[in-house]
Amino acid sequence: MKRIGTLFLAIFLAAAAHAHGDEDHGSPASGAAPPVAARAAAARAGTATDSLELVALLEGERLTLFLDDFATNAPVVDAQVELASGATMRAAVQVAPGTYALDAGDLATPGSHSLAVSVETGEMSDLLAVQLEVAAPAAPLARAANGTGVPLAWAGAGVLLLAGGAIALRRRKSGGEEHAR
């Protein structure tokens, strides 16, 4: 009888020890890094020609273009970079060697965007075509509950506790009848 009670107590306590709320249960003194918030992956696309390699990265309202020489993988510096999308033509500004940025504008909207990027340096000019796929923002995940606001683990623990009580009561009654004989 004591074993059954101990078993059901252990099951009940295990079911009650579930994650809840937004508590991280860590202390700043533990030295552990704080958890990193998940974020949506940025839209990115890439293409290459015989002379250039291009990677486009869309983060929020900013489109960043990374340009490298295809043969040497060296960054393409001090180039005139223009981006055409539909009827819109925009110039990109160099923010680091081989890195050019511009306001994304309508390119930040979900969907498929065809881009033509023209690159001119003192020695060469090239035109690169790339397709940028921008995904719609993901919906937040819903928490699992049984509709009454009671987490499923608590409901399951309650059922197990009731079943254990019924078994213990039944054994006690059947054991008492045998002793009376």
Higher pLDDT, 106 or 161: 106
pLDDT score, position 67: 95
79 lies in the same domain as 124:
yes
User: Is residue 56 included in any domain, yes or no?
Assistant: yes
User: Residue length, the chain?
Assistant: 181
Residue with tokens 């960054």: 75
Which residue, of 119, 134, 149, is where some domain finishes? Answer: 134
Domains of the chain: total: 2
177 lies in the same domain as 110:
no
Percentage of the chain modeled with pLDDT above 70: 65
Model confidence over 80-132: pLDDT tens digits?
Answer: 999 998 888 999 999 999 999 999 888 888 889 999 999 999 888 999 999 99
Give the separation between CA 116 and CA 136, rounded to whole angstroms: 23
How far, in whole angstroms, is CA 57 from its chain's centroid?
A: 17
User: Is residue 11 included in any domain, yes or no?
Assistant: no
Model confidence over 66-79: pLDDT tens digits?
Answer: 999 999 999 999 99
CATH of the domain at 106: 2.60.40.10
User: Is residue 31 included in any domain, yes or no?
Assistant: no
52 lies in the same domain as 91:
yes
User: Is residue 9 included in any domain, yes or no?
Assistant: no
62 lies in the same domain as 123:
yes
Which backbone phi and psi does 137 adopt, to 5 degrees? -60, 145
User: Is residue 2 included in any domain, yes or no?
Assistant: no
Residue with tokens 């796929």: 133
Model confidence over 10-27: pLDDT tens digits?
Answer: 666 666 666 555 555 555
98 lies in the same domain as 172:
no
| 25: amino acid identity, one letter | H
User: Is residue 59 included in any domain, yes or no?
Assistant: yes
Residue with tokens 């490298």: 68
pLDDT score, position 129: 93
What average pLDDT score do residues 54-61 get?
A: 91
Residue span of the structural domain in which 179 resides = 140-181
∠ CA 62-45-64, nearest 5°, is: 25
Higher pLDDT, 151 or 33: 151
pLDDT of residue 50 exceeding 80, the answer is yes
